[in-house]
Amino acid sequence: MSNSLKQRLGKGDTITGIFCSTPAPLMIELIAAADFDFVIIDLEHTLIEGQQLEAMILAARSNGLSVLVRLPENALYRSVQLLDAGAEGLVFPRVSTVQQAEQAVYQCRYGTRGARGLNSTRDNHYGRDNLADYVSEANSQLLLIMMIEDRTGVQAADQIAAVDGVDMLLPGAADLSQSFNFPWQTSHPEVQAAIEQIHTICQRRQKGFCALPRNQQEQQAWLEQGVQCFVAGDDRGICRRALTAVVNDFKEMVKKHV
């Protein structure tokens, strides 16, 4: 197995992904056709079911699209299922303590580094490959991302980033704004200061940082600070904005001919 996303980050490439909340392999194919580098299938805010999810993972893999999955909160038991199904990595929401981060890593690693159960899986060709070699490679290729989404998580971010096996932190500006009592004010100075604090911690700990810019100015600012990994938003919001732009163009054209 190989994790092209982790390899590209290691080479210093800049990569762009998107959350997918639409329960359809077709949406995954569209995301791949749009030339995104990775997709995060979102199970936290959706009702995507098992067979749909597996088909979406397969659609990503068959189109050369790196696929991660965001788990529902308090759903560590699903980690093994998702990794066995072929996810390159997992995104854990609302990580507020070092204990949560340690448990997430422990559930996802094989051997002395964790408690992931051994089985024949898609990535080892259902037992065809040397399983001892696979265990070692799977541990090294796994990408684990912790989302920091509240004040407590910000305070513990340095400890969370220090956990061996945590690869990247992703601040969730929307939920951070709620935690700081500024709901949906993602550009509020206190929220932005918390996000910058997380970025600084990642730099010091030599861990990845994933930015979720809300506009081009934010994206440019992160690029200037050397950030490599970006999430462009959620497929539903992006589709709605694209559809609105199309229909508004048509309506403007109609007005000119009335």
Catalytic positions, written as ranges: 45
d(CA 218, CA 92): 24
**In whole angstroms, how far apart are CA 178 and each of 187, 193, 214?**
12, 14, 16
Token pair of 216 as six digits: 């081009």
d(CA 41, CA 139): 21
Q: How many helices (H) and strands (E) does the chain have?
A: 12, 8
Sort strands 208-211 and 89-92 into parallel, antiparallel or unpaired: unpaired
Helix (H, G, I), strand (E, B) or coil at 207: coil
d(CA 182, CA 190): 9
